[in-house]
Structure 1
Amino acid sequence: MAAGAVDCHAHWIPPGLAALLRCRRAAPRIGPAPSGGGGERLVTFQEELPFDAAMGDLGARLDAMNGWGVARQVLSLGSLFGVDCLPAEEALPLVAAFNDAAAAAIAAAPDRFAALAALPLADPARAAAELERAHGAGLRGAVLAADAFLTPEDAARLGPVLAAADRLGAHLFVHPGPVSPLPERTVGEASAHAAWQRRIVLEAQARLSSAVVTLGLSDLLDAYPRVTVQVANLGGAVPFLVERMDEVARGERPGAPPPSERLRHGRVHVDTASFGPRAVAQAVACFGPERVLFGSDCPIFDPGRALAAAAAAGLGVGAAGLLLGGNARRLFG
């Protein structure tokens, strides 16, 4: 079942970008592991992650993909790393380093990798220009921070990016992340009661839920018919909340199509990172089998566990085939 899987939610920090991040003194940056035991850490505004072969070495990634049974990954720079939200002058050389390396990776292994551009979100006009440049080099679209889509009014600020994406027929991956830099939080803060669960699960999923409402239940995308959209992490809590959304809509707009119908027949795709079989099955029921993509959040989470969750969701052969690769191949070619 997993032999032809396409992982639509996978992150990478190429060597050129890593070198630039080592020169920084503020997050996002790469520095020695604090334990003094060797190794390096990627320091973001909210956490520290190991920076090792799993994150930065595509040769090691290919070996791991073969072991997992993943045929192809769609590489992106996670918005939670905090690169794309920096002031444009800081962000531009960093995102360009990622985009150039991703173009080289695609050229070297087009059957194993696709990629989505990182953009300097602080300056939508320059972000649109970078999307055009990256698309010309072979990247399929871009990753955008979910906080840019909390409301339609927020999303309107990215009008130049959305217009460029429409001209290019690009794919937009809406990933948890801010649109402006946040203060660097200390590791010790996460030891407070369930702080990590509140931050990385509850807060992130709430913002993704708002992004789904903006993208799927407003008319925002009507002006951009050639754009395809993917929201990370099953679209937040929407699969669990959609029945309540329908009940609210009955009183708010009697006779109008309910949110469940609009989402199931709409344009928003979601990916499975990093959920178990019950949530995956619920998302397929909410969005329809044609709009759920396999995603692992590699290397933050284990693609093997993500594949096992998809296999255990009880979707049936047809829906499982769409989730594991069919939908991705339709979107990415």
Structure 2
Amino acid sequence: MRRAIDIHQHLWPDAFLSSLARRTAPPRLKRDGHGWWLELAGDAPARFNPADHDPAARVGFDRVVVAPSLPLGVEALPEAEALLEDFHSGVLALGAPFTLWASPARPALVDELLKAGAAGIALAGRELVDERWAPALERLAEAGKPLFVHPGPASGSPAWLPALTDYVAEMHAAWHAWAAYGRPRHPRLRVIFAMLAGLAPLHAERLAARGGPSDAVHDPLTFFDTSSYGPRAIDAMVRVVGVDRLLYGTDVPVVAPSDLAPLGEAALHALMVANPERVL
């Protein structure tokens, strides 16, 4: 498929890897006789393969938008600005086909990051309607750039447990909060929710029954990436929000891409080409 776009991958450039390896406390990378390990607060060390972040191994797309790894919790560190600069500058230096979802260490950096070449900015779901970010979202809307909403830190063992509980709950809460409070304040801002917002729009009937803003499922400026879901969940979302508001995202290398061939060529063209070109 020509001009295919993946709007959600993770890639840690060399400078960012080196910075994590120099740290003495989580989040950090640590090496022993058995290889590299990623240590996060509250989690057991997890095996880490630097080869998973080799740009040369990312093939098959004409554009890849690289997201910050918000679950690391870098944004909350005192040295966040320096660490994120290593990430931002490293991704931007890669050039085509890579571009960047930037993670501002503070709201005032949004303009600077957009000027440097970021496609837009990324926020953790729990930060979405935090009042301190409101001016940054206004600047983003004025610049005509989108916001990418992604889960933030969550610890637990085994690793799939927070991914199926905390991450989903955070994205549910973010989408509902955006519908109730964020969209009225930022009527022009394009927003993309990772992982289909945890399938939150599929609860529209319950939302309506409880008196909530169920019309949010029809918001033409709110979009959803397909990361970590397969054709059955995507088909269910199409029936609620329509195919024109779904964007192809893989979450590589965190998870392997799903086979979406059962959706058909027309749907794949919408997800991989037409929709992301329009949104980005």
Question: What residue is the counterpart of 1:177 in the other structure?
Answer: 152
CA deviation after TM superposition for structure 1 residue 222, in Å: 3.5
Does residue 1:311 correspond to 2:261, yes or no? yes
Aligned with 1:232 (options 173, 182, 194): 194
Count of aligned pairs: 278
State the one-letter code of the partner of 1:224.
H
Distance 2:47 2:223 in 1: 28
Contact 1:170/1:226 (<8 A) preserved: no
Structure 2 stretches lacking a partner, 5+ long: none
CA deviation after TM superposition for structure 1 residue 219, in Å: 4.1
Question: What residue is the counterpart of 2:176 in the other structure?
Answer: 213
Does residue 1:301 correspond to 2:241, yes or no? no
Q: 3-state SS of the aligned residue for 1:157?
A: helix
State the one-letter code of the partner of 1:101.
G
Does residue 1:73 correspond to 2:77, yes or no? no
Change (3 A) 1:177 1:103: same
Contact 2:5/2:272 (<8 A) preserved: yes
CA deviation after TM superposition for structure 1 residue 144, in Å: 0.7
Change (3 A) 1:266 1:330: closer
Question: What residue is the counterpart of 1:101 in the other structure?
Answer: 90
CA deviation after TM superposition for structure 1 residue 13, in Å: 0.9
- 1:25-36 aligned within 5 A: 25-33=24-32, 36=33
State the one-letter code of the partner of 1:14.
P
- 1:1-333 aligned within 5 A: 2-33=1-32, 36-37=33-34, 39-45=35-41, 46=43, 48-55=46-53, 57-61=54-58, 65-66=59-60, 70-87=61-78, 90-106=79-95, 109=96, 112-120=97-105, 127-149=106-128, 152=129, 155-178=130-153, 190=157, 195-215=158-178, 217-249=179-211, 259=214, 261-303=215-257, 306=258, 308=259, 310-312=260-262, 314=263, 316-332=264-280
Question: What residue is the counterpart of 1:124 in the other structure?
Answer: none
Q: Deviations over 1:109-139 (max 9, x none)?
A: 2xx122111221xxxxxx2332211211111
CA deviation after TM superposition for structure 1 residue 49, in Å: 4.7
CA deviation after TM superposition for structure 1 residue 317, in Å: 4.1
Distance 1:268 1:231 in 2: 8
Contact 2:29/2:37 (<8 A) preserved: yes
Contact 2:30/2:36 (<8 A) preserved: yes
CA deviation after TM superposition for structure 1 residue 43, in Å: 2.2
Distance 1:298 1:49 in 2: 16
Structure 1 stretches lacking a partner, 5+ long: 121-126, 253-257
Contact 1:117/1:142 (<8 A) preserved: yes
Distance 1:114 1:222 in 2: 29
Q: 3-state SS of the aligned residue for 1:139?
A: coil
Q: Deviations over 1:127-171 (max 9, x none)?
A: 23322112111111111111113xx4xx22312321221232221
Change (3 A) 1:282 1:51: same
CA deviation after TM superposition for structure 1 residue 100, in Å: 1.2
Contact 1:293/1:328 (<8 A) preserved: yes
Distance 1:262 1:82 in 2: 30
CA deviation after TM superposition for structure 1 residue 296, in Å: 0.7
Q: Deviations over 1:51-102 (max 9, x none)?
A: 41212x21222xxx23xxx332101112112212323xx1000111111122
State the one-letter code of the partner of 1:115.
L
TM-score with structure 1 setting the length: 0.77
- Percent of aligned pairs with the same residue? 29
Contact 2:99/2:118 (<8 A) preserved: yes
Q: Highest Rg: 1 or 2?
A: 1
CA deviation after TM superposition for structure 1 residue 331, in Å: 1.7
State the one-letter code of the partner of 2:134.
G
Contact 1:128/1:164 (<8 A) preserved: no
Question: What residue is the counterpart of 1:123 in the other structure?
Answer: none
Change (3 A) 1:49 1:272: farther
Q: 3-state SS of the aligned residue for 2:62?
A: strand
